[in-house]
Structure 1
Amino acid sequence: MIHRSLAVLSVLGCSLLLIPAESSAQAQASCGPRHELVKLLADRYKEDPVGIGLSQPGQVLEVFASQAGTWSMVMTMPDGKACLIAAGDNWEMVTKAKGSPI
């Protein structure tokens, strides 16, 4: 996951802020203007939005995923700055069966 964050960082260039991860199990966050990050996810990874929700007041969490199974989580701040907060592989859409607890 870290190599993917670094790829995002290199494409967005010096307009990004790199926040170092505390451990190798955590991804590094790559931040920049939302429209640039969304375009990069679409162009490079063929990822489109599959989920969205409010986190903190004014912060929006989005999940992007591709047909190939790659996925990214993006947090957008009220000022329009977006950060890639997690990314991975093997994304699967789960649908709840009627009467199922999950």
Structure 2
Amino acid sequence: MKTTLTSLCLALFATTALAAEEQPRNCAERDNVLKRLSGNYGETRQSIGLGANNSLVEVFASDKTGTWTITVTMPDGMTCLIASGQSYEKLINDKLLQPGEDA
């Protein structure tokens, strides 16, 4: 599942990287973005992958609220929000994990 999610993130990054660069209002220093995702939404990092141009693609989500966010961090430390939504659920081998189960 992590490979599938990483592949999805990389494909998403390839199609939205230019949009993120054109809209810097969706970008900020990495520490500020992580504080906001954690503090405002209770999101923690769920998966990670390396994207184009040595960018870091990450998925953050909250098990409690179900919110999720995909970010891309460039080598210079600028982090851009690529997508976000609700109803995040963890899967392992295409099986929905139950509360308290570990991935």
Shorter-chain TM-score bucket reads 0.5 to 0.7
* Distance in 1, Cα, partners of 2:28 & 2:46: 21
Q: Is the aligned partner of 1:96 residue 2:66?
A: no
Q: Tell me, yes or no, if structure 1 residue 62 matches structure 2 residue 58.
A: yes
Q: CA deviation at 1:34?
A: 0.5
Q: Deviations over 1:18-62 (max 9, x none)?
A: 719xxxxxxxx6101001000000000000000000011310000
Q: Amino acid of the residue matched to residue 72 of structure 2?
A: M
Separation of aligned partners in 2, 1:70 and 1:88: 6
Counterpart residue number, 1:75: 72
Structure 2 stretches lacking a partner, 5+ long: 1-20, 95-103
Equivalent runs, 1:6-25 vs 2, <5 Å:
19=23
Gapped runs of 5+ residues in structure 1?
1-16, 21-28, 98-102
Runs of at least 4 residues of structure 1 off by over 2 A?
none
The percent identity for this pair of structures is 40
User: Of Structure 1 and Structure 2, which has the larger fraction of its residues in helix?
Assistant: 2
Whose radius of gyration is greater, 1 or 2?
A: 1
Superposition map of 1:27-38 within 5 A? 30-38=26-34
- Alignment of 1:87 with 2:91, yes or no, is no
